[in-house]
Amino acid sequence: MTGDEIRAYCKRRRYSAQYTDYWVAHPWCEAYRTAGYVVAAGAPHHIVTRGAHGDCDEPWNLISLAPANHRSVHQSEARFLETFPTLRSRFERAHRDIWGWQR
pTM of the model: 0.86
pLDDT at residue 103, rounded to an integer: 46
pLDDT (tens digit per residue) in 77-91: 999 999 999 999 999
Q: What ranges do the domains of the chain cover? A: 3-99
> Dihedral, CA atoms, 42, 58, 48, 74, nearest 10 degrees?
0
Q: Which long-range contacts (CB under 8 A, 24 or more apart) does 1-9 make?
A: 1/27, 1/40, 3/27
